[in-house]
Chains A and B, each alone.
Chain A
Amino acid sequence: MLKKITVTVNGTEHTAEVEPRLLLVHFIREVINLTGTHIGCDTSSCGACTILLDGKSIKSCTVLAVQANGKSVTTIEGLAPEGGPLHPLQEGFKENHALHCGFCTPGMIMRAHELLEHNNNPTEEEIRWGIAGNLCRCTGYNNIVKAVQWAGAKMRGAELPNTEPEFRCKNARRRIAKYGAGVRISSNTGQHFNLSTN
């Protein structure tokens, strides 16, 4: 039997008649057509589908749309106004190279959003525990940790950390022998580094 639900998504009320078995993530992606929220594992393991339900980060592949009746949902699309400035977390991810393919990013950011709400100056350990339910197959997480710290600094008005990625040149010794120390080289992200062995 269809059930009528009203859910406020990113500030706008949506009313729909849905099957009780419809998952919240399918409601978001297919009923109201917001596809920023991704489906990775569909088994509550990867965190790609993370959204905020009444301000709390949850995995929308493991919640029914009917459970969101009368509640408010925030998705990645709701963080910054269309065409307006990015949210500090979005900016932090961009500045710190915290995404490669970007598949995990919306979920990572929504999770980090709740984390920073409780503590806008988290340690590396707190961030790593905080995003333990979000998998990223690309970045190796280091830049994600930096991005969250960067966003925290921006949100509390502190000095912004350096966004230069850690870069180790594998063949540094050989290259120094060839070109001399201090030579500037470019990385594939378009940035420049001085050759050194440390």
Chain B
Amino acid sequence: MIAQSFQYESPQTLQEAIELLHKYGDEAKIMSGGHSLIPMMKLRFAAPEAVIDINGIPGLAYIKEEDGMVKIGGLTRESELEHSDLLAKHFPIFADVTKLIADPQVRNMGTLGGNLAHGDAANDHPAVMLALRASVVATGAEGEREIPIDEFFYGFYMTALQHGEILTEIRIPVPPAGTGNAYHKLERKVGDYATTGVAVQLTIDSNGIVTAAGIGLTNVNPVPLRAARSEDALIGKPISEETLKLAAQYASEDCSPSSDLRGTEEYKRHVTGVLVKRMILKAAERAMQ
């Protein structure tokens, strides 16, 4: 399969990339790892007039801790997230999630920025970012703006990024002691998109009371979903049979999956609840360590 013809641009600076985006207007697409974009272009679901390859711009791939935040450059590859010691320290959830995204070759190309900017509720990172209460930095002609993750996903393949803006950084607050996080997805085979996926981050105080909770769901809603009622069901209480049951029930009620090859709506609601319970327990276990 061959994509429709396009102009290929490989800017060497962010400034140049932004100028090119303005020059080509709506017909331009940014390319990071290309592992969602190229398949769509080959299938002719996308036919941009110009592809602006940002891989030649130095300084867009990094993982660092600064001002109480872990900052990840938009162009950071999945394989770099998978093997980062800094992330492993605060966020074992990254090892959970990256291992379940596609396969090693795809992870050598795919980037965190591209995974989020694609705006696909089937992708795994959006749910993780919801659980971790991340924010996203967009850089455009007017400079940078920071977008909280709850305001980032708009609709099917739609995000808050405006034309001419490049997702340059992801910021994640470093969680306090007593925090644990975990992700798992149900998949038909290794590397498949999720039938359902659940990301959880919990902070638990010395009395065993949950003081903060973040829960994100993958591929069971038109947009990546925060399971807000499930979070509320946990806060201010110890983890118990009762709170687990409520959190699971609310998530399965509040999501909106569609029946497809991966399962019926009813099945997906059910297994979402099951995974919510399991990930709460796993995050809690990690929080106590």
Q: What does the 1/0 interface line of B183-214 toward A look like (CB < 8 Å)?
A: 00000001100000000000000000000000
Tally chain B residues at the interface, Cβ within 8 Å. 29
Q: What does the 1/0 interface line of B237-278 toward A look like (CB < 8 Å)?
A: 000000000000000000000000000000000000000000
B53 touches A42 (CB 8 A): no
Q: What does the 1/0 interface line of A46-88 toward B look like (CB < 8 Å)?
A: 0100100000111100111011010000000000000000000
* Given A20-B8, A67-B53, A58-B38 contact (CB < 8 Å): no
Residue A129 at the B interface, CB < 8 A?
yes
How many angstroms from the CA of A44 to the CA of B8 in the assembled complex?
A: 21
How many angstroms from the CA of A23 to the CA of B39 in the assembled complex?
A: 11
Instruction: Among B51, B104, B109, point to the contact of A20 (Cβ < 8 A).
Output: B51
* Given A43-B39, A133-B106, A20-B99 contact (CB < 8 Å): no
How many angstroms from the CA of A164 to the CA of B3 in the assembled complex?
A: 47
The 5 A-B residue pairs with the shortest CB-CB distance, nearest first, are A133-B103, A20-B8, A132-B190, A56-B108, A21-B3
B105 touches A59 (CB 8 A): yes
Interface positions, chain A 130-166, Cβ under 8 Å from B, are 130, 132-134
A57 touches B106 (CB 8 A): no
B104 touches A57 (CB 8 A): yes
A-B contact pairs, 6 of them (CB 8 A): A21-B2, A47-B105, A62-B106, A64-B8, A67-B53, A111-B105
Residue A19 at the B interface, CB < 8 A?
yes
Minimum CB–CB distance from A108 to chain B (whole Å) comes to: 12
How many angstroms from the CA of A67 to the CA of B105 in the assembled complex?
A: 16
Residues in chain A near residue B6, CB distance under 8 A? 20-21
Residues in chain A near residue B39, CB distance under 8 A? 43-44, 62
B35 touches A44 (CB 8 A): yes
Minimum CB–CB distance from A140 to chain B (whole Å) comes to: 16
Interface of A with B (CB < 8 Å)? 1, 3, 19-21, 23, 42-45, 47, 50, 56-59, 62-64, 66-67, 69, 111, 114-115, 129-130, 132-134
Instruction: Among A21, A23, A50, A56, point to the contact of B5 (Cβ < 8 A).
Output: A21
Q: What does the 1/0 interface line of B87-110 toward A look like (CB < 8 Å)?
A: 000000000000100111110110
Chain A, residue nearest B103 (CB) = A133
B104 touches A132 (CB 8 A): yes
A3 touches B191 (CB 8 A): no
Q: What does the 1/0 interface line of B107-127 toward A look like (CB < 8 Å)?
A: 011000000000000000000
B4 touches A57 (CB 8 A): no
B53 touches A132 (CB 8 A): no
B105 touches A21 (CB 8 A): no
B8 touches A58 (CB 8 A): no
Interface centre among A63, A64, A69, A114 (most CB of B within 10 A): A64
How many angstroms from the CA of A47 to the CA of B10 in the assembled complex?
A: 27
A132 touches B191 (CB 8 A): yes
Interface centre among B5, B103, B104, B105 (most CB of A within 10 A): B105
How many angstroms from the CA of A174 to the CA of B52 in the assembled complex?
A: 68
How many angstroms from the CA of A3 to the CA of B51 in the assembled complex?
A: 13
Residues in chain B near residue A3, CB distance under 8 A? 8
Instruction: Among B1, B10, B38, B191, point to the contact of A63 (Cβ < 8 A).
Output: B38
Instruction: Among B7, B35, B51, B79, point to the contact of A62 (Cβ < 8 A).
Output: B35
Residues in chain B near residue A42, CB distance under 8 A? 1, 42
Minimum CB–CB distance from B214 to chain A (whole Å) comes to: 28
A133 touches B38 (CB 8 A): no
Chain B, residue nearest A47 (CB) = B105
Q: What does the 1/0 interface line of B1-45 toward A look like (CB < 8 Å)?
A: 111111110100000000000000000000000110011011000
Other CB < 8 Å A-B pairs besides A59-B105, A62-B34, 6 of them?
A: A19-B5, A20-B51, A44-B105, A62-B35, A132-B104, A133-B103
Residues in chain B near residue A134, CB distance under 8 A? 103
Residues in chain A near residue B41, CB distance under 8 A? 21
Residues in chain A near residue B55, CB distance under 8 A? 67
How many angstroms from the CA of A63 to the CA of B105 in the assembled complex?
A: 11
Chain A, residue nearest B4 (CB) = A21
Residues in chain A near residue B99, CB distance under 8 A? 129
